[in-house]
Each structure stands twice: as structure tokens, then as C-alpha cells.
Structure 1
């Protein structure tokens, strides 16, 4: 299942490793954003999924970025962070959180699950074990 993925991560080694993992699985990355301005700029390119860290170059702006990407651009957002508790019960418009460090298999399962939600598949499997879902999934783009 092809998909265009935005990576919002300020640690370049982590971001490049995530980008390589996604590309190895056949996904297209639309870019790496290290702060709110670049994330919103890349969000305008219509990615299918955004993987968003909480703490970025401009501070703990990840939750605001995730909410804006979902609301303004219709991007399916998953947080990928070492600090999942900072997200509380969730962020408006975001699907869930994947804790760091995330292994490649968990990343693949999560992205495929999110793309399935976006495509409106009627018989979605349960969310991957590593993904904590904020709200019940909704099958609409």
C-alpha cells in the first residue's frame, strides 16, 4: 500500500533513519520538518500520514503541529515520541502515539494501519500492538 509520509522530527539522525525505513518499505517521504513552520509548509503538499515528535527545534510544538496538520490539511497524524505521556488523552485530530524507539516492523504496521483508515477499508484489523490509539478509529478520509 503506497503512501506519502511527512516526518516531523528535529533529531536529524533519527529522522534520516525513519526516512530510510519508510522508503525501504516502499513509502514516499515528502520531507523532514524540524519545527512548526517547516512542518506546516510540508503539510500543504498533501501527505497521507505525518509521523510527529512532541519536542522539536522550536520546543514542545508537536501537539499543535499534529492538530493543525489534521485540521487544516486532512493529514492522518501519529505521534512518534519518547514522551507519550506529554500527549495526555490525545490530540484533536490525531490517531495515536507510537513510543520511541520504534522498531521497523512497528513503524510498518502503524503506517499500513493508518493508510487503511484513510482509504476507508471496511474490515480493518485491530491497531498494531505498539500503537496507542487515542479514539475509536473512524473510516473516512
Structure 2
């Protein structure tokens, strides 16, 4: 196959706001074969890109890019880029492409849940204590 300007597109995938990736632009190559749009393009970040859903080779693991999964010829390049942006912002913990990235993501998620759970119970205890003090008409000061 001849390489033409239509067979390879280089894009920069911007990250969403208020995410761990905020403000970043990540080089992404979309490689369209002669079988496009019957087959999805190969979407690739640089080798070693660190994300739970990106293989060490840089290939993006996303259902809409899978011939066996959700690819449809009607999917646009914009939809692909938005799907990748969403994946960067919200990794899919059930479809890991990198062991290390996945383990870090899962442990960070558990740690966050533990913090939320701790803060919830601590906050609930404080609210109940205040309500008890109010009902007893005891000053909190």
C-alpha cells in the first residue's frame, strides 16, 4: 500500500478539564488502511505511553476500534477522537491493556474510595454529634 496523506493522520488528543490529564496534548497517529471504513483505523500513541487502556506499543484499546467489538463504518474520526479523549479521562478498568498502568489505576481508585468512605463516616459522626448537642441544648464551643 502506498502511504498518502489520507492513510495516516497525526493528531494531538487534548485531555479534558478537571482530570489528571488536564492541559496535556498527546501525539496520536491514526492509520487508515485501504479497507477503511470497513475496518477501523489503527490509533497509536508513542511507544511506552502510560495508560491502563493503551498497550505498551502505544495501540489504543477501545471497543469502537475493535473489528470484533463496536466498530461500525459510520463512526467518524471526530467520534474516534472523542472516544479516546473520554478513555484518557475515564479509564476502563475492565479492559486493561497494560498490567502496571491497570494496577496503579485500580489501587488509586481503591485508595480514593477508602478516603471517601473515611471522610463520609467522619463527617456523619460529626453531624450526628452536633445534632445530639443541639437536642441537648449544649453549646459546641
Q: Same fold (TM over 0.5)?
A: no
Question: What is the TM-score of this pair, normalised by structure 2?
Answer: 0.30
Structure whose CA Rg is larger:
2
Q: Which has the higher strand share?
A: 1
